[in-house]
Amino acid sequence: MAMAEVTTAPARSLAKPRSTLARNIAYLAGGQLATWGLSLLWTIFVPRALGPRGLGELTVAYAATGVVSVVISLGIGTLMVKEIARDHQKTPSLVGTALLVRVAMVPPSLLAIGLYIHFAHFSDEQGIVLWLAAASMLLALFTGPFQAAFQALERMEYLAYADVLTKAGVAIASIALVLAGFGVVAVMALALAMTAVSLGLNAWWSRGKFRVDWGLNSERVRNLVVGSLPYWTTGLVLTFYMWIDSVMLSVMSSSVVVGWYAVPIKLFTTLLFVPVILATVWLPRLSRAFRDGMDPLTKTGRPALEIVLVLSLPVATGVALVARPLISDIYGPLFAQSVPVLVILALTLPPTYFNIMVNQILIATNRQLTWTKVMVAAAVVNPVLNLFAIQYFQAHQQNGAIGAAVCLLATEVGMAVVGLLLIPRILDTRSLSRIGRAVIATAGMGLVVLSLSRFGLIVETAAGAATFAVLAVALRLLSADELRLIRSLINRPRKWA
């Protein structure tokens, strides 16, 4: 069946690459700032009201459905971004085929959740929370093809809009629910409702941007499923090893310990916004650059790698230094056991930032299977380490969450070492010099934070951020292109609309 032409603006995107890049970063960063504020509100009220046990039940539900979600999603989203970025006219058929494939995945996903509930012998409340989470997961799967198309077409505003609107609804309404005395079931039911809203919004926004070709074509289905398998394997392994610690904690300890782990892991994943934003906006560009050869790819990929490494250093150091007041002031004394877990996860940020961007570069160069092998190795090693580490720390410190955090750090460092070997041409001596200057700036920031520890979290954070900014300017951590990009973000927002 012939594919219709997409109604979009590729000409402008190609003519003004820097303007488009700045616009997309601005939308995603602005959305992230908004959701940060909303998440902070949620964090102040909801975990305190639910307590470690209730928060642990939420975490178990998200862990289980997260694993099932990546199994049935088949990695289709990443393949869609690559293919649509290279040829916008593929959008209707790819979106329609992806939606049809996901319809077929509904029965096996429900069966998997049902078996997990049965064999884990959960309480009635935990079972209800899991079923609600499963329904939310399925609606999110149908949202995925629309958002993959928006990403490939470099219309990141729709990703930001959906994220902010749904998280605003979840944060505000969840606070109202827990203050009114409702518990974890009501909070998860709310999340389900907002996921339905997100799906409706994404379908509405697609009107005028692209149509959906609902024609069932067995050849297109086969090509999409088979072509997405390398990305599916990577996503499956990544999700498995990111969530397996929470699942193992739920079996080997208690929901309270899962709650102690849930707080720092939520902060950890929130702090991944920098590489996630850059990976989102850079993947279409990396894919197009590789089409023209390795030199354009290197020129496009090097700044992204350098930026995530430079920014990971102050973020990791800052979080580790303020972990105790951060947990105490926001979550309260019931989560005191989360402090050492957060310190370990803070140290995990730099290798994780690096690994996220390495994955995007390898995807763009059609070497995703190479990274999949790395992920498979990590997925084998991580649960084996968890098996011993969780037991050890649970027996000696009554906190198996520390063991789970140590295992995540070990696997991320190992993957980063392999990733560096896989892309030796991307970073050069100038990159190492820049990273070295970032280390100096971070050390200066750390000294300031330590000297001001008696003044509290807000003063420490503000002074540390200001110190790093001043040192970054003095040490010339930003390139000329990045300075121009920042000026574009500040001075030309009206032109991105």
Nearest-angstrom CA–CA distance, 179 and 284: 44
Q: Are 62 and 126 in contact (CB under 8 A)?
A: no
Sequence-distant (6+) residues with CB within 8 A of 463 are 448, 449, 452
Q: What is residue 336's three-state secondary structure?
A: coil
Phi-psi region of 213 (alpha: psi -120 to 50; beta: other; left: phi over 0): beta
Nearest-angstrom CA–CA distance, 20 and 366: 24
Q: Which two tokens stand for residue 143?
A: 């949202």
Q: Which two tokens stand for residue 336?
A: 């005191």
Which residue, 257, 110, 262, 133, is CA-closest to 185?
Answer: 133
Q: Are 191 and 132 in contact (CB under 8 A)?
A: yes
Q: Are 7 and 209 in contact (CB under 8 A)?
A: yes
Amino acid at the residue 49: A
Nearest-angstrom CA–CA distance, 56 and 122: 12
Residue with tokens 């993947």, as numbered in its chain? 283
Other beta carbons within 10 Å of 118 = 10
Phi-psi region of 122 (alpha: psi -120 to 50; beta: other; left: phi over 0): beta
Nearest-angstrom CA–CA distance, 254 and 250: 5
Nearest-angstrom CA–CA distance, 414 and 408: 10
For residue 31, the model assigns a pLDDT of 67
C-alpha distances in Å from residue 337, one per residue of 45, 63, 248: 19, 21, 18
Average pLDDT per block of 10 residues along the chain, 497 residues long: 36 46 65 69 79 83 82 80 84 89 90 86 86 92 89 81 83 88 90 92 88 85 82 70 76 83 85 81 78 79 86 94 89 88 95 91 83 84 91 90 93 93 82 91 94 88 92 83 59 46
Q: Are 276 and 356 in contact (CB under 8 A)?
A: yes
Q: Which two tokens stand for residue 183?
A: 């518990």
Sequence-distant (6+) residues with CB within 8 A of 147 are 77, 158, 159, 162, 202
Nearest-angstrom CA–CA distance, 157 and 26: 9
For residue 497, the model assigns a pLDDT of 43
Which residue, 4, 15, 107, 155, is CA-closest to 496?
Answer: 155
pTM of the shown model = 0.67
